Structure 1
Amino acid sequence: MQGLKRALLQIWRLTYPYYVTREETQIRIWPFGTFRLQERWVALSMAVLVIGIEFAQVAINVRLSYFNRDWFNAIQSKDAVAFWALLFSVFCFWAAIYVGSAIIQYVIQSFLRIRWRAWMTRHYVDRWLGNDTHYRMGLTGARADNPDQRIADDIDQFTQTTQTLAISFLSAVSNLVSFSVILWNISAVFTVPGTDWHVPGFLVWGALIYSGLVTWLTHLIGRPLIRLNFEQQRREADFRFSLARLREYGEQVALLSGGAAERASLRDRFGALIANFYAIVDRRKRLSAFTVSYQQVNVVIPYILVAPYYFAGQIQLGMMTQTAGAFARVESTMSFFITFYVTLADYKAQVDRLTSFDAAMERAEAMRAQTRLVVAPGAGAALQVRDLALGLPDGRRIAAVRDLVLEPGETTLLTGPSGSGKSTLFRALAGIWPFGEGTVRTPAGATLMLLPQRPYLPMGTLRMAATYPDASGRHDDAAIREALEAARLPHLVTRLDEEAPWAQTLSLGEQQRLAIARALLAKPDWLFLDEATAAVDEPTEAALYRMLRQRLPGTTLVSIGHRSTLDAFHQRRLDMTPRHDGVFVPTDLRTPVAAQ
């Protein structure tokens, strides 16, 4: 019972935000024109219409139940006039209304699902990418594997399955109430077959006991499917991600002759996927054997229960078929859990995945809110660091900066051994590193840009890659070509509209030069280069630094690098040196060669 309450609460938390959102949207209703409404009113209106149509269809089925009784009575009595009158005046009329309402319900339900999925997708993408939550989730070690699948697949399946189950459940409840009344009234005078015992509503109680027993047995057989389905989705996503990652790093794998190792890894992952799938097949085989047998028995059970009363002359053929139909309706609605067991098992896995994704984002957001590392604009033009202590996710302290001031216009080189916290310090200055404490005051009104060692290249055209993350289109083709030529990429200037997997097409050195072209287009006030030219040769690196000084005279450069040749292009040098406790601190040095 506790598990059911927890599952319902999870579903509520995932569903509730959409139906109370105050976001405005624009809808067009023919022939009334276009309106602006809050999305919640659109969602609630469509949900009410879908539910209302479902209840109307139940009422039509109740009416057709009485038609069925009268029609079979006419057949038994060989009353041709009543037979044809009932067919055309009752059945055809209500059947046409049922078909028309089903089409309208499908259209409204589809529009509701599309809008709900679109809203949830925007909501999750905004949360995931907002305030660098996606980055912090990777630092927390939170259980949120394959966010692409959760946003693309799980949201789609969640909205679809929630709608299907909700409508089916409401239909089951309304059918249960309506046909239980019919069944109770019909069996009011029945006795238990073979006895003189009179049990009010005998057939209703029989349907309840029968379906309850079968539901319990179904749950015992199918319960492991919830865990197996969750595991299958995770293993499918892991295998798909491994293939995508292999495509991304195909060159590196080939250079290391890693084909055999990758084949072994893929075989292991796919083998685990197949093993779990066989476990699902085995469990579903048992469940299917039980449920299919149960469904076959259901065809005759109602007639077996009612037959003694028909053969005894207590009821006519029409009432027999109506009773059997009502019993089947009541029993099937009570067996809702059995009918949708496999669907419910899949649904529970979807809910768990979205809930764990939510929880991971909440932990990442809480990490940002609780961090004692403050990065905020200062009052002056310098970048100031006070009492900064940087740690790692496991709690170890890595670097400390007691008092550091970087003046505008003063080029600075940060050096030190690997693992001394250089890149971590840059992340802290950029405001994305959550593990630490202290204060960073960025220059008032200044724009900052950080170029990592391995640039991110989005999918799309080369123009998109060159101007990323600026999507405003303010850079014309001439400016982009000029930036590419200045970054020593003249062979790319004719390929601006070409779409390609640029992260695989370009070498790392070309990718780094493309990032330099971005900086030329962005013209930031402060440019941080985290070994951003480490993959190019020294003469090209020197040419790039000279070009940056010429084309961005108002930009302050701060670099991380290991090559001694970089000294010539920086006026100041900070070297990360270890203290007695192993924590690295920046030591201020001056290079003997003036910056060029």
Structure 2
Amino acid sequence: MVKTSALFAVAGALLMGLALMTEIPVSPLVPLATLTLAVVLYLARDVSTFIRILIALIAGAHVLLTTLYVAAAFGAMPEFMAEFVPPVSMPAAAGVFAAVVAAVGRLPVIRQITILTDPYFTSREVGTVRIWPFPTVRAQERYIGTGILAIVVTMQFALVAISVRLSYWNRDWFNAIQERNEAEFWRLLLTVWVMWVVIAVTMAIYQYAIRMTLDMRWRAWLTEHYTSRWLSEATQYRMQVFGNQTDNPDQRIQEDVRKFTSLTLSLTLGILAQVSTLVSFSVILWTISADFTFPGTSVEVPGLLFWIALVYAVVATWVTHLIGRPLISLNFLQEKYEADFRFSLARMREYAEQVSLLRGERAERASLGRQFRLVMDNFFRQVGVSKRLIAFTSFYDYSNSVVPYVIAAPFYFAGTIQLGVMTQTAGAFARVEGALSFFINAYQTLAEYKAVVDRLTSFEGSIDRARNAAKKTGEVALLDHDGEDLRLDGVVVRLPDGTAIVRAEGLSFAPGTSVLLAGPSGTGKSTLFRAISGIWPFGEGAVKRPRGASIMLLPQRPYLPGGTLRGAVAYPEGEDVYEDATIIAALEAVRLGHLAPLLSEDRIWAQTLSLGEQQRLAAARALLARPDWLLMDEATAAMDEATEEAIYGVLKRELDRTTIVSIGHRSTLNAFHERRVDMVMGEGGLYEPADVREKVAAE
């Protein structure tokens, strides 16, 4: 940015010399805009990547427009490109526009947004893209995204430039009408207007297609980004441990990411278009009314029409904000209530059998009714605010069709301006006022967008808190060592608030043995298991595991993903990792051979199988995975005693090199383990694992 800033400074100085010391008609506005861009580029070194990209694109547009403008001033523009000569307002507008973007980029709310946008535009993943008629390109995603954004923004600037050019066409056309110049009337219509309209329509269609490509690529990248952060290092589990730190992560990843990319692009392009329109047409409006007097007086007010448009739009924007401000919080709450209601319906489907057995339909209807009433009440509060907002904005929109002509009419009737200038004035006034009114027309969209940004920001915050929470309580370290045993050195397991619940000093498990961890409920057995497996970080000390050893934990309620039975048994591996014969053998070993014909069936297996069958399916997974260490947290509690005995028998027979450590309360488990460790009350009210010296089998 520093070198580019220096180049712009030199170019601005040269242009200023041309404007002041030669007879070539170069407006001082152009070199001033170039020098402004030099300052903006230098000061933009510390703004976000997304804002720097936009400023660089504006600078590029300024270079192109200035080149065309200066070439025309030197008489070097070919005759066939005469229609492409920009008015001085356009290159001059770029400097002001860049300064506005740089200033806005430092606002706290924009910084909050760019924290979400920048990761994509700085990503180093490699991707491919093809935009017709160009060949396929393979590059880092940041370059692909920046390139597509540059094309889309450049087209947006071109569409604004065309509208500025048509403003001058409109002036000349109506002057031809006033002067009854038929030949000029048809020439302007059939050559100038037709050409620019065809270009504008074609460009608008192509821009839409390219913008949608960027939208989906960005959404795909962000979806993968958030999914990876959420589903790594047990973050999704730790976020649940914290309770209500964030609601509905599924909605944040699916719905909020979709809205964020779509609204960011549409609002960015809309704001760029409106600001460039504002600056370009403001120069036109100022130039036209440079020596206008205030109506009914002889007081000359330079740029009178511009000031009228500015005051008119600013007052209307302020009123709109006062009316619509509650929509920001209401939109946020509506998304939350809708997601909570949808989650409850999905949960009801998951637990349909239990609800039916308990005859809990009435209680569920009452609960769903309460949640939906929150949706309805908040919705009608939104409607109430929106009604007032629509009433004001509708009146404002209808007024806009006559106000510009009412403002320009006194000057036309006084003979100060011609009909063509009057229509150009009214058009420029409407464009300036419309650009200033962008905030009014887009208020509801902006309110929705702010809610989406807040939800994604809070999701980011929840992920960070879940990952960093152990820094406050201390963290149980997971270490590999060259020994064969799994041992706990100085381990104290804590709750997320720092409260210690279990102390395990010197506990070790020898390879190839079977150990039962017993004790009353609530003594921290399951939490200790989760610390050993690595998903519970809160505490201190170290869990030292044999280097390269694999650990698998079977919980009391296994997770069965939706999809085929083959995929449910193979999980967490892909369903194509194991041969069907191997999967069927594992099912038969755990007494689920009757399910073999259903391997390709696609069902919600958590609702199809009983809890006992689900636990046997989890045992089949262990037979397939063959872990070095198998932790079973009441993993047979839903089985009858005979089936439980058979499952432990097949695990010990088939996994003869696997160390099995179980949590359970049944006395029958004693017979399946060589060693028993009980949780007993120790010093300071903490439970500690203590060995029962005699072999359990001898009891």
TM-score (norm 2): 0.83
Q: Distance in 2 between matches of 1:316 and 1:379?
A: 93
Report what 1:292 is aligned to: 394
Report what 1:373 is aligned to: 476
Q: Distance in 1 between matches of 2:151 and 2:130?
A: 17
Cα distance, 1:30–1:323 mapped onto 2, change above 3 Å: closer
Report what 1:187 is aligned to: 289
Partner residue of 1:441 out of 520, 534, 544: 544
Are 2:613 and 1:514 equivalent residues in the alignment?
A: no
Shift of 1:315: 2.2
Q: Which digits, 9 at most, give the CA deviation of each residue in 1:289-347, with x for residues without a partner?
A: 11111111111110101111222233222221111110000011112211211111001
Cα contact 1:567–1:591 (8 A) shared by 2: no
Cα contact 1:571–1:590 (8 A) shared by 2: no
Q: Which digits, 9 at most, give the CA deviation of each residue in 1:193-231, with x for residues without a partner?
A: 222221010000001111111111111111111111101
Report what 2:26 is aligned to: none
Q: Distance in 2 between matches of 1:149 and 1:431?
A: 27
Report what 1:10 is aligned to: 112
Superposition RMSD on alpha carbons, in Å? 1.8
Q: Distance in 1 between matches of 2:629 and 2:642?
A: 24
Are 2:475 and 1:361 equivalent residues in the alignment?
A: no
Cα distance, 1:559–1:163 mapped onto 2, change above 3 Å: same
Q: Which digits, 9 at most, give the CA deviation of each residue in 1:122-169, with x for residues without a partner?
A: 111111111111111122346311000000010110111111111111
Partner residue of 2:209 out of 98, 107, 124: 107
Report what 2:238 is aligned to: 136
Are 2:669 and 1:566 equivalent residues in the alignment?
A: yes
Report what 1:159 is aligned to: 261
AA at the equivalent of 1:555: T
Cα contact 1:415–1:560 (8 A) shared by 2: yes
Partner residue of 1:279 out of 356, 378, 381: 381
Partner SS, residue 195 of structure 1: coil
Partner residue of 1:582 out of 675, 685, 688: 685
Q: Which digits, 9 at most, give the CA deviation of each residue in 1:562-587, with x for residues without a partner?
A: 11011111000011112354321112
Q: Distance in 2 between matches of 1:409 and 1:151?
A: 43
Q: Distance in 2 between matches of 1:461 and 1:315?
A: 77
Are 2:657 and 1:545 equivalent residues in the alignment?
A: no
Partner residue of 1:464 out of 567, 585, 594: 567
More divergent stretch after superposition (100-109 vs 580-589): 580-589
Shift of 1:491: 1.6
Partner SS, residue 178 of structure 1: helix
Report what 1:95 is aligned to: 197
Q: Distance in 1 between matches of 2:667 and 2:416?
A: 105
Q: Which digits, 9 at most, give the CA deviation of each residue in 1:494-523, with x for residues without a partner?
A: 111110011111111111011001001101
Partner SS, residue 417 of structure 1: coil
* Equivalences, count: 596
Q: Distance in 2 between matches of 1:287 and 1:372?
A: 52
Partner SS, residue 540 of structure 2: strand
AA at the equivalent of 1:327: F
Partner residue of 1:226 out of 328, 340, 352: 328
Q: Distance in 2 between matches of 1:346 and 1:304?
A: 35
Report what 2:60 is aligned to: none
How do 1:301-320 and structure 2 match up within 5 A? 301-320=403-422
Cα contact 1:571–1:595 (8 A) shared by 2: no
Shift of 1:534: 0.4
Partner SS, residue 314 of structure 1: coil
Partner residue of 1:323 out of 425, 428, 433: 425
Shift of 1:456: 0.6
Q: Distance in 1 between matches of 2:567 and 2:470?
A: 30
More divergent stretch after superposition (519-528 vs 439-448): 439-448
Cα distance, 1:413–1:433 mapped onto 2, change above 3 Å: same
Q: Distance in 1 between matches of 2:143 and 2:284?
A: 37
Partner SS, residue 188 of structure 1: coil
Shift of 1:595: 8.9
Shift of 1:33: 4.0
TM-score (norm 1): 0.97
Q: Distance in 2 between matches of 1:32 and 1:4?
A: 36
More divergent stretch after superposition (78-87 vs 434-443): 78-87
Partner SS, residue 635 of structure 2: coil
Cα distance, 1:68–1:30 mapped onto 2, change above 3 Å: closer
Are 2:555 and 1:452 equivalent residues in the alignment?
A: yes
Shift of 1:591: 5.5
Structure 1: 5+ residue stretches without partners? none
Shift of 1:593: 5.2
Cα contact 2:470–2:496 (8 A) shared by 1: no
Q: Distance in 1 between matches of 2:337 and 2:236?
A: 21
Report what 1:169 is aligned to: 271
Are 2:523 and 1:420 equivalent residues in the alignment?
A: yes
Cα contact 1:74–1:83 (8 A) shared by 2: yes
Partner residue of 1:247 out of 345, 349, 353: 349
How do 1:67-82 and structure 2 match up within 5 A? 67-82=169-184
Q: Distance in 1 between matches of 2:581 and 2:477?
A: 40
Cα contact 1:239–1:270 (8 A) shared by 2: yes
Cα distance, 1:430–1:191 mapped onto 2, change above 3 Å: same
Partner residue of 1:217 out of 294, 310, 319: 319
Moved beyond 6 Å, runs of 4+ = 1-4
Shift of 1:4: 8.9
AA at the equivalent of 1:434: P
Partner residue of 2:434 out of 329, 332, 357: 332
Cα contact 1:571–1:591 (8 A) shared by 2: no
Q: Which digits, 9 at most, give the CA deviation of each residue in 1:213-258, with x for residues without a partner?
A: 1111111111111111101101111000011111111111111111
Are 2:582 and 1:479 equivalent residues in the alignment?
A: yes
Cα distance, 1:469–1:595 mapped onto 2, change above 3 Å: farther
Cα contact 1:224–1:283 (8 A) shared by 2: yes
Q: Distance in 1 between matches of 2:421 and 2:618?
A: 80
Q: Which digits, 9 at most, give the CA deviation of each residue in 1:369-414, with x for residues without a partner?
A: 6643111112211011111111222333211111111101110001
Cα contact 1:142–1:360 (8 A) shared by 2: no
Shift of 1:455: 0.4
Report what 2:493 is aligned to: 390
Q: Distance in 2 between matches of 1:489 and 1:405?
A: 34
Partner residue of 1:208 out of 310, 318, 331: 310
* Larger RCO (alpha carbons 8 Å, 6+ apart): 1
Partner residue of 1:21 out of 116, 119, 123: 123
